[in-house]
Structures are given as structure tokens and as C-alpha cells.
Amino acid sequence: MQAFVFCGRRNNRRNKLVISEFPQSGDTSVLESALSVLGQGWLGTLLGIGGIVFAFFTYVWTRRRTRLAYVFFGEHLLGSATDALPAAIDVQYDGVSIPRLSKSQIIIWNDGENIIPGTDIVTKDPLRLQVGDDGKILSVSVIKTSRDVIDVKLVDQDHPSQVLLTFDYLDANDGFVIEILHTSTDRKPSVEGTLRGLPQGISNYGQFTRPKPQKATKGKIFKALNVIFSPPVFVIIGFLFAVFGPHPAFLTRPDSMGALSTVAGAASGLLTLWVGRRWEGRRKYPKSLHLEALE
């Protein structure tokens, strides 16, 4: 392929524009190959997906929300959800016989970006922890806080299945972990109350699952192989290979587009499945509130 550069100059005598052309030397095969690859439909789709992902993360990094959230974990230490302990077994707590013993742990944190002052708690509907009405709270304690300055306090009241909760303020990802021992058949506690600026209420992210025990790794080489053979690395390598690697002639034939689209669709589906599983199994609460007792 021969390229020409056209130059224009004025001829004063004839007052005409004279066009000259000069051959421009150079091999354009690399440029033609790159343009051929960029013209493929699958690459446009991949770039479009990349643009959507970039826009999503840009939104996440720049958003400003006000949100108070919690997750919980509950288990029956003695007895069950349906039956009390056998009559031959007498379990006492502080000298009082109890039908069962349940433990609930609640992790509460600021899941937004805006600060949540403790003064935003509405007096007529205070922030409180609630267990089932059929049970009684035996003890409640704060077992961890992200920072001491948030000043979490538990206020006992006459209601047997409720306890009031106050704090000074919560910055983003600030929070605390509370443990409740009670006699309710319901292991699922709840956080009730109203805060100014939270018309949607307190977000309940449900019960968190304890992570599965991790198998002992075989060293740095094993960890490196796990990273190399992970789906994101495969996608990045495939993209770089498609743009800068060799391009066989069959990739540009129209009859190959169907097979390429099938492969690209399968790869996208596997990557989406992997991302979904990772997202679902992620730790929803801040890392600063994690306890070994929660595992």
C-alpha cells in the first residue's frame, strides 16, 4: 500500500493552487492489522463492557450516602427453637431457671459516606435492640468497636426483650459488635428506631455466614498460581493478546465471527459467575469489626 502526502502552494504568476504529491515511505502493515482487529464487533462489545464497569466504579467512588446497616448471627446454646429443655434438666442464669439459652451477635456500622451523629436519633423512637417477645434478655455487652471515641452505650429499660442503644457519632465504616444472651426461640435479633436523614430506616443485610475454614497453602508458588489462573488475569491477558498479539487471517473472516462470539460469550458468562460468587460471599461488614469469634 502506498501513501501520499498532498501539499498545496500558491503560484504567483498564474494565481493558481498547485497540488504536489510525494510518496510517503513506510510499512503500514502493523497499522492495517491493528485497524482490522479494532473493527471486530467483539472488541467493541468488550470495550463497551469496560466502559460500563468504569462508570460503575466512578459512581461508587463519588457517591455520598447516609446509611446505617447491620448483620447478625444467632444460635441456640441450650435447648432448641421448638422445645424447651427436658424437665430433668434445670439450667439457671443468675439463680433463675431458664427454658433455653440463645446467643445473638449484631454488627452495626455506618455503611454510607456521610457522618451519622448520635443526636440524629429521634427521642420518640429511640435506637434499640429487639429479640423475640417470647424471650428475655439475660445479658448484653459491646464486645468490639471500630474506635473508642464513638462512645457506644447500652441503656437497660423495663422491657424484658429490648435494650436501648446510643453513640456519639459514626464516621464511614465506624461501628460496633454487640452480643446478647437471651431465652427467645427466635435467634434473629433486630435493630429498631428512627434516625433523622434516614427515611428508609435501618438496613438489615440479614444473617452473615461464617467463612469456611481455609486450607493451609503450600507456599508462595501456590499463591502465585492461584493469582495467575484467576478469571480477571485471564481476561486481561486475553485483551492484551487480542490488541498487541499476532492476528491469524482466519480471525478476520466473516465465517469465524460466530465461533468467536460464542467463545467471547462463554468467557463473559464465566467471569460474571465468578464475580457474582465473590460478591455474594464477601464480608459485608467492615474489616475493622471482624472477630475470630465470628468464624
User: How much is the pLDDT for 25?
Assistant: 45
Is residue 289 within 8 Å of residue 109, measured between CB atoms? yes
Q: Which residue positions in the chain have pLDDT lower than 70?
A: 1-46, 59-60, 63, 80-85, 209-219, 222-235, 237-283, 293-295
What pLDDT shows up at residue 95?
84
Closest of 70, 169, 73, 183 to residue 128, by C-alpha? 70
What are the DSSP calls for 58-81, one per residue?
Answer: HHHHH-----EEEEEEEEEEES-S
**Rounded (5°) CA angle 285-286-290:** 85
Distance, CA of 275 to CA of 248 (rounded, Å): 31
CA dihedral 70, 76, 80, 86 (to 10 degrees): -150
Radius of gyration for the alpha carbons in the chain, expressed in angstroms and rounded: 32
Best CA proximity match to 104, nearest among 219, 205, 181:
181
Instruction: Say if CB 189 and CB 72 are below 8 A apart.
Output: yes
Q: Give the integer Cα–Cα distance in Å for 241 and 251.
A: 13
Whose cell is 443485610? That residue is: 205
What the block records as the C-alpha cell of 188 is 434473629
Which grid cell sits at 239? 485483551
Q: How many C-beta atoms lie closer than 10 Å to residue 260's C-beta?
A: 15
Measure the CA–CA gap between 98 and 213, rounded to whole angstroms. 34
Task: Report the amino acid identity of residue 238.
Answer: G
Give 3-state DSSP helix, strand, coil % of the chain, rounded to 5. Answer: 35, 30, 35
Task: Note the CATH architecture for domain 68-207.
Answer: Sandwich (2.60)
Global pTM value: 0.62
| Distance in angstroms (rounded) separating the CA atoms of residues 270 and 263 | 11
pLDDT tens per residue across span 162-216: 999 999 999 999 999 999 999 998 888 999 999 998 988 999 998 876 655 555 5
What is the C-alpha to C-alpha distance for residues 62 and 113, in angstroms, rounded to an integer? 9
